[in-house]
Amino acid sequence: MTASAKAQFRLRIYRDASVAIGPGKVDLLEAIAQTGSISAAARQLGMSYRRAWVLVDEMNRSLVSPAVSTAAGGVQGGGTALTPLGETLVRHYRAVEEAARTAAAADIAVLQGLLAP
Neighbour tally for 101: CB within 10 Å: 13
User: What CA–CA distances, in Å, run from 92 to 1, 13, 44, 61, 97?
Assistant: 31, 12, 23, 19, 9
Query: Is residue 88 within the footprint of a second copy (CB under 8 A)?
Result: yes
Evaluated on CA atoms 90, 42, 58, 100, the torsion sign reads negative
Site stretch for a second copy (CB under 8 A), options 1-9, 27-35, 39-47, 48-56: 1-9
Site stretch for a second copy (CB under 8 A), options 40-48, 49-57, 74-82, 84-92: 84-92
Residues 6+ apart with CB under 8 A from 12: 19, 21, 22, 23
Query: Is residue 71 within the footprint of a second copy (CB under 8 A)?
Result: no
User: What is the smallest separation between the CB atom of 25 and a second copy, expressed in angstroms?
Assistant: 11
Q: Which residues bind a second copy (CB under 8 A)?
A: 2, 4-16, 20-21, 61-64, 85, 88-89, 92-93, 95-96, 99-104, 107-108, 110-117
